[in-house]
């Protein structure tokens, strides 16, 4: 797959720096997130990665990696995790990481360095993935919704800007999709899924969030109405996801 120009330049810059700072450390490099899911938006998306090493970096190496990342351009942000080959084959919960990255790598990861993705042993477990999504909805997103519903709260004000409703509506829709299907999708893919699955009353707010994601012209009748409908969608979609069983 041909990478977007700014993604390729970021990857090249990273590998050039890390190979000088810590020669031989990065044995495998795989892109996940929006780049792997064909939903990368220049100027808005991060470049998410999984870097694979033979052993866990010690404090000296971690300090060197910190210097490498500070030297990279601020946009797009290059963010990810450093894991060993054996950690990739194990439940990420044991290392305090989420299973979404592992499942994205297993199904969609783009190899930049190292063995082909299909030949790498990557842990997956649909039941554990669904359980993590439910917990994330019932904790993080429930709390986010409560805070965004408070007048003049930081999250309430964020929902008056275009990115707030889009981030929340599409983010919750991604988790709903994964619980319902056992698969991973992008933010844009989640919006299309939500538009098809939920009733017509939710089509306007989901469509608006898809337009925001795509950088298209917006058409909602006011920011207050958009915030109200986005929060109502979150309340409905979280409840529905927690009831959903495959």
Residue 194 and residue 94 in one domain: no
Query: pTM for this structure?
Result: 0.94
Residue 58 and residue 157 in one domain: no
Residue 130 and residue 164 in one domain: yes
- Positive or negative CA dihedral for 171, 174, 179, 185? negative
Residue 136 and residue 227 in one domain: yes
Residue 113 and residue 193 in one domain: no
Given 67, 93, 119, which residue is the final one in a domain? 119
**pLDDT one digit per residue (tens) for the chain, 246 residues:** 789 999 999 999 999 999 999 999 999 999 999 999 999 999 889 999 999 999 999 999 999 999 999 999 888 999 999 999 999 999 999 878 999 999 999 999 999 999 999 999 999 999 999 999 999 999 999 999 999 999 999 999 999 999 999 999 999 999 999 999 999 999 999 999 999 999 999 999 999 999 999 999 898 999 999 999 999 999 999 999 999 987
Residue 137 and residue 187 in one domain: yes
In which domain, by residue range, is 177 found?
A: 126-243
Residue 57 and residue 166 in one domain: no
In whole angstroms, give the CA distance from residue 222 to residue 224: 6
pLDDT at 22: 98
pLDDT at 232: 98
Given 85, 119, 153, which residue is the final one in a domain? 119
Quick one: tokens of 181? Answer: 């299907």
Number of domains in the chain: 2
Residue 148 and residue 77 in one domain: no
- The 10s digit of each residue's pLDDT in 168-183 is 999 999 999 999 999 9
Given 119, 153, 182, which residue is the final one in a domain? 119
Residue 76 and residue 137 in one domain: no
């Amino acid at each position: 797959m041909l990478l977007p120009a700014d993604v390729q330049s970021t990857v090249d810059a990273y590998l050039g720096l890390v190979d000088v700072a810590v020669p031989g450390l990065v044995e495998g490099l795989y892109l996940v997130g929006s780049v792997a899911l064909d939903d990368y938006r220049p100027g808005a998306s991060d470049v998410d990665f999984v870097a694979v090493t033979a052993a866990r970096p010690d404090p000296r190496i971690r300090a060197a990696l910190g210097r490498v990342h500070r030297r990279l351009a601020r946009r797009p942000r290059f963010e990810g995790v450093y894991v060993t080959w054996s950690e990739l084959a194990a439940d990420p919960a044991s290392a305090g990481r989420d299973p979404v990255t592992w499942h994205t790598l297993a199904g969609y990861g783009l190899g930049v360095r190292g063995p082909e993705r299909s030949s790498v042993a990557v842990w997956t477990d649909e039941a554990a993935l669904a359980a993590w999504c439910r917990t994330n909805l019932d904790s993080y997103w429930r709390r986010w919704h409560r805070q965004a519903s408070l007048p003049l709260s930081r999250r309430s004000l964020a929902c008056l800007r275009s990115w707030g409703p889009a981030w929340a509506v599409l983010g919750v829709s991604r988790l709903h999709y994964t619980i319902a299907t056992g698969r991973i999708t992008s933010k844009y893919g989640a919006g299309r899924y939500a538009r098809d699955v939920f009733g017509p009353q939710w089509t306007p707010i989901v469509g608006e969030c898809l337009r925001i994601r795509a950088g298209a012209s917006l058409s909602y009748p006011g920011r207050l109405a958009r915030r109200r409908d986005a929060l109502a969608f979150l309340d409905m979609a979280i409840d529905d996801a927690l009831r959903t069983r495959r």
